[in-house]
């Protein structure tokens, strides 16, 4: 099971907007203020290495809806899929270190959400790398500390190559790197850095 966070601008987004965000109407209604729907962790369909490998063995770009639902590539990126398929052919295996994660574009100052995949062959590792679709900057992984209460928040996990950490302080989002340098998320509407978690939930 994964977690869904809606992270949004505290200045701009109103209670009425929360009801629209995350529903089918989201794209039709005009919402003034930047928000991000972020899935974190694994969902039921994408939780097994075997299932994932099958997706790539079969057809990462299926046509029909049902096939898409069952077999569509979680990376949503044809270039990356081709590398993964090539790696599988060369004997690489997808490791258990996988799932949706938070990424950050330093140039656009925005959060992104992508599916992290690691592959291994004889202690050689391949890790998927995502680029910002707007500015083409390589995205950095963000360690999720949104609801963790731990003393040493500057000691990063070594599970993935995390560059940033996201956490809440007085209900406001902060992003720091390992050198405690602060990074901002900027709202397209008010140009301010004042974000919080608007809602959260479990995704199957």
Q: Which two tokens stand for residue 181?
A: 């340098």
Least distance (Å) from Zn ion to the CB of residue 193? 9
Least distance (Å) from Zn ion to the CB of residue 130? 11
Looking at residues 99 to 118 of the shown chain, list those that interact with Zn ion (rule: CB under 5 A): 105, 107-108
Of 200, 189, 198, 201, give the one whose Cα is nearest residue 14. 198
155 binds Zn ion (CB under 5 A): no
Give SS3 for 40: strand
Tell me the DSSP string of 76-95.
--HHHHHHHHHHHHTT-EE-
Strand partners, 197: 7
Alpha-carbon distance of 118 to 127, in angstroms, equals 4
Per-residue x/- marks for Zn ion, 55-94, CB under 5 A? ----------------------------------------
142 binds Zn ion (CB under 5 A): no
95 binds Zn ion (CB under 5 A): no
Residue whose CB is less far from Zn ion, 71 or 164: 164
196 binds Zn ion (CB under 5 A): no
Give SS3 for 53: helix
Could you list the residues that contact Zn ion (CB under 5 A)?
9, 11-12, 33, 105, 107-108, 132, 134-135, 137, 187, 189-190
């Amino acid at each position: 099971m994964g977690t869904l966070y809606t992270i949004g601008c505290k200045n701009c987004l109103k209670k009425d907007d929360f009801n629209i965000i995350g529903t089918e109407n989201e794209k039709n209604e005009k919402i003034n203020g930047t928000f991000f729907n972020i899935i974190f962790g694994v969902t039921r369909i994408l939780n097994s290495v075997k299932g994932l490998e099958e997706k790539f063995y079969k057809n990462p770009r299926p046509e029909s809806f049902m096939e898409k639902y069952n077999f569509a590539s979680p990376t949503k990126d044809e270039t990356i899929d081709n590398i993964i398929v090539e790696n599988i052919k060369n004997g690489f295996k997808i490791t258990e270190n996988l799932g949706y994660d938070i990424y950050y574009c330093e140039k656009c100052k925005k959060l992104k959400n992508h599916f992290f995949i690691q592959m291994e062959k004889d202690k050689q590792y391949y890790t998927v790398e995502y680029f910002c679709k707007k500015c083409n900057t390589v995205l950095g992984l963000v360690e999720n500390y949104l609801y963790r209460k731990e003393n040493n928040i500057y000691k990063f996990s070594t599970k993935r190559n995390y560059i940033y950490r996201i956490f809440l302080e007085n209900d406001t989002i902060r992003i720091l790197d390992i050198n405690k340098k602060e990074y901002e998320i900027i709202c397209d509407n008010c140009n301010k850095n004042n974000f919080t978690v608007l809602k959260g939930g479990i995704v199957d």
